[in-house]
Amino acid sequence: QQDFERRFNIPHITDIFPDALSFPSTFCLRMRTPINEEFAEGYPSDEEWHGYINNNDRVLLKVIHYSSPSSAGAECIDPNCTWVEQWVHRAGPREKIFFKPEEVKAAIVTCGGLCPGLNDVIRQIAITLEIYGVKNIVGIPFGYRGFSDKGLAEMPLSRKVVQNIHLSGGSLLGVSRGGPSVSDIVTSMEERGINMLFVLGGNGTHAGANAIHNECRKRKLNVAVVGVPKTIDNDILLMDKTFGFDTAVEEAQRAINSAYIEAHSAYHGIGIVKLMGRSSGFIAMQSSLASGQVDICLIPEVPFNLHGPHGVLRHLKYLIETKGSAVVCVAEGAGQNLVKKTNATDASGNIVLGDIGVYIQQETKKCFKEIGIPADVKYIDPTYMIRACRANASDRILCTVLGQNAVHGAFAGYSGITVGICNTHYVYFPIPEVISHPREVDPNSRMWHRCLTSTGQPDFI
Ligand code: ATP
Ligand code: MG
């Protein structure tokens, strides 16, 4: 069986400290603590119930079928095998823990842009650390910048401090882009005595977290670096869903509905909504599918023409003539070949995208003026309103489980990992496996075709 398996083995601190497990404290994490003796009746005793996850528990990620054994050969040892199974480590509390809680100084840092649910994750990490018995928990203010800026003091965290932070959006700790070098971050961690680092952020932040993990190993530091993927765009490889995405799709409904009402109430009204999605159109696609009010959905993965006989503008003219109004939903990274390249980059080195929403608005106005048909074009960009929202119920549950599992992973001695949900199970991934490139909408997928069926749009090429 093992011949067919490719396992994503996740890095463990014992890789550099081979005998480290000779000092583990067997810490019984009371996952279900009865409130008092009376309540204890009926609860399994610690011996009967422990709920620990075995280090070898894996979750099947996918089965890849090959047309012949030879094409599977690179992945598979068995000469007759035509498939390969990919497995990932299951997340959760381990019976043997690597760190002594009283020796832990844990730090949490949030980087990149805002995303609904950040406070829920911070809260849950702090609460779970306290349950493990950690007394020294701090927040690093304003992203990686907080490691270098002497004016920014660490924020002590406890259950009391974080109790109600999930009731508002944003990040208690603040976020930022750019900041110190990886070497400076690790030096600062050494000075502060941090041996557990929880990093909440997107692809850039995770590249940083992996580099911090590698630098810690190089310096032979006993540090666990654990990521929690934060991407409102839902563009992290191998994961079913990332937190904030559900909330974003839900909030986007308000913007789409407003665009629809404006368009529907105006004579020849056209509503254009720009949603998040730098390289992946998941928010635009799911929001269009959910709303049922979108006539044209444009995403980065599917090229389109604006002008010409098969262009978006021609279809808009058709919609105005037949329906009297139209709604366009465009992802921020769509049609970048059509807008002027800015060449500008942000503090983290990400390319600043051209504004496709404004471009479509201007070109639509120009086009209808030229053809002599009146059109009332309205443009809505709800990006910052969506990002600043507090998470909805389903995202909150996701954040809670991810936060708890991040702490379990760190205590188990894993480092250079990130937590996620895969085939409905919570798992640990090695960071490089999930950030090699963004997850994208497959233009041949059923979901994109369902979206096209729902909007009724043609191909714009
Ligand atoms: P978002 O999805 O909101 O853009 P992100 O994590 O991708 O989140 P970035 O601004 O790209 O946001 O990066 C966040 C932090 O990670 C920044 O402080 C940046 O300096 C750092 N960073 C980005 N890329 C790397 C890298 N390759 N190595 C080390 N650090 C990095
Ligand atoms: Mg990013």
Rounded Cα distance between 273 and 377, Å, is 11
The pick from 144, 177, 233, 245 for probing ligand 1's pocket by mutation, whose C-beta has the most ligand atoms within 8 angstroms, reads 177
Is residue 16 classed exposed, middle or buried when 0-12, 13-18 and 19+ CB atoms within 10 A define those classes?
middle
Distance 44 CA to ligand 1 centre (A): 45
User: Does residue 202 line the site of ligand 1, with CB under 6 A?
Assistant: yes
Give the C-alpha distances (Å, rounded to integers) separating 178 from 113, 211, 381, 427: 12, 15, 25, 29
pLDDT at 71: 66
| Mean pLDDT to the nearest integer, 197-206 | 96
Instruction: Tell me which residues have their CB within 5 A of the ion that is ligand 2.
Output: 202-204
Q: Is the pLDDT of residue 419 over 70?
A: yes
| Contact predicate 406/198, CB 8 Å | yes
110, 111, 149, 171: residue to mutate for ligand 1 pocket, most atoms within 8 A of CB: 111
Quote the tokens at residue 307. 């002008």
Report the predicted TM-score, pTM, of the whole model to 2 decimal places.
0.91
d(CA 78, CA 17): 34
Q: What pLDDT shows up at residue 45?
A: 53
Predicted local distance difference test score (pLDDT) of residue 62: 78
| Residue 23 pLDDT > 70 | no
- Intra-chain end-to-end CA distance of the chain, in Å: 47
Residue written as token pair 């909504």? 273
- Element at 326 (helix H, strand E): strand 326-331
Beta bridge partners of 90: 427
Are 276 and 383 a contacting pair, CB within 8 Å?
Answer: yes
Q: Which has the higher per-residue pLDDT, 87 or 385?
A: 385
Angle, CA 147 vertex, CA 220 and CA 430 arms, to 5° = 50
Kindly state if the Cβ of 297 falls inside 6 Å of ligand 1.
no
140-143-145 Cα angle (round to 5) = 90
211 lines ligand 1 (CB under 6 A): yes
Mean of all residue pLDDT scores within the chain? 90
| pLDDT cut 70: percent of the chain above it | 89
User: Which ligand is in closest contact with the Cα of 202?
Assistant: 1
Please tell me if the CB atom of residue 11 comes closer than 6 angstroms to any atom of ligand 1: no
pLDDT over threshold 80, residue 68: no
pLDDT score at 199: 98
Is the distance from CB of 208 to CB of 112 less than 8 angstroms?
A: no
The model's pLDDT over 90-149, given as tens digits with 9 standing for 90+, comes to 999 888 888 989 999 999 999 999 999 999 999 999 999 999 999 999 999 999 999 999
Distance from chain centroid for Cα 252:
17
Q: Tokens for 238?
A: 């191998």
Closest CA to 55 of 101, 16, 7: 7
Check residue 369 and give its pLDDT: 97
> 73: how many CB neighbours lie within 10 A of its CB?
13
pLDDT, one tens digit per residue, over 318-364 is 999 999 999 999 999 999 999 988 889 999 999 999 999 999 999 99
Q: Is 113 in the pocket of ligand 1 (CB under 6 A)?
A: yes
Q: How far apart are CA 356 and CA 380, in angstroms?
A: 12
**Hey, which of 114, 173, 205 would you mutate to test ligand 1's pocket, going by the most ligand atoms within 8 Å of its Cβ?**
205
Helix (H) or strand (E) holding 139, with range, is strand 136-140
Whether complex ipTM tops 0.95: yes
Ligand 1 centre from 113 Cα, in Å?
A: 9
Ligand 1 atom having least distance to the Cα of 349: 11
Q: Are 226 and 238 in contact (CB under 8 A)?
A: no
Tell the residue nearest (CA) to atom 30 of ligand 1: 208
CA of 280 to the centre of ligand 2 (A): 12
- Residues 12, 142: Cα–Cα separation, whole Å: 28
Report which of 215, 134, 127 is spatially closest to residue 166, judged by C-alpha positions. 127
Cα-to-centroid distance, 349 and ligand 2 (Å): 10
Instruction: Band the pLDDT of 14: cuts 50, 70, 90.
Output: confident
pLDDT tens, 205-214? Answer: 999 999 999 9
Does 5 score more than 80 pLDDT?
Answer: no
- Is there an atom of ligand 1 within 6 Å of 144 CB? yes
Mean pLDDT lowest among 93-97, 166-170, 187-191, 456-460: 93-97
Question: Which residue has the CA at smallest separation from atom 15 of ligand 1?
Answer: 205
Per-residue confidence (pLDDT) for residue 30, from 0 to 100: 43
Per-residue pLDDT band for 18 (boundaries 50, 70, 90) equals: low
Of 77-81, 106-110, 256-260, 262-266, where does mean pLDDT reach its minimum?
77-81
Q: Is the model's pLDDT at 25 over the cut of 80?
A: no
Write the DSSP assignment of 87-123 as a string of letters: EEEEPS--SEESS-GGG-EEEEEE-SS--TTHHHHHH
Nearest CA, atom 20, ligand 1: 178
Kindly give the distance from the C-alpha atom of residue 95 to the centroid of ligand 2, in angstroms, as a whole number.
35
Cα 210 to Cα 187: distance, rounded to the nearest angstrom = 16
Query: In terms of DSSP H, where are the helices of 202-311?
Result: 203-218, 245-265, 282-291
- Contact 204 CB / ligand 1 (< 6 Å): yes
Note the pLDDT of residue 75: 57
pLDDT of residue 74: 55
Is the distance from CB of 339 to CB of 351 less than 8 angstroms?
no
The CB of 146 under 6 Å from ligand 1? The reply is: no
Q: Residue 81 — very low, low, confident or very high, per pLDDT cuts 50/70/90?
A: confident
- Measured in angstroms, how far is the CA atom of residue 75 from the centroid of ligand 1? 32
**Which residue has its alpha carbon closest to ligand 1 atom 24?**
204
Q: Which residues are catalytic?
A: 233
Ligand with smallest separation from the Cα of 210:
1
Instruction: Give the ligand at the shortest distance from the Cα of 177.
Output: 1
| Percent of the chain with pLDDT strictly greater than 90 | 76
Does the C-beta of 186 come closer than 6 Å to ligand 1?
no
Q: Is the CB of 348 under 6 A from ligand 1?
A: yes
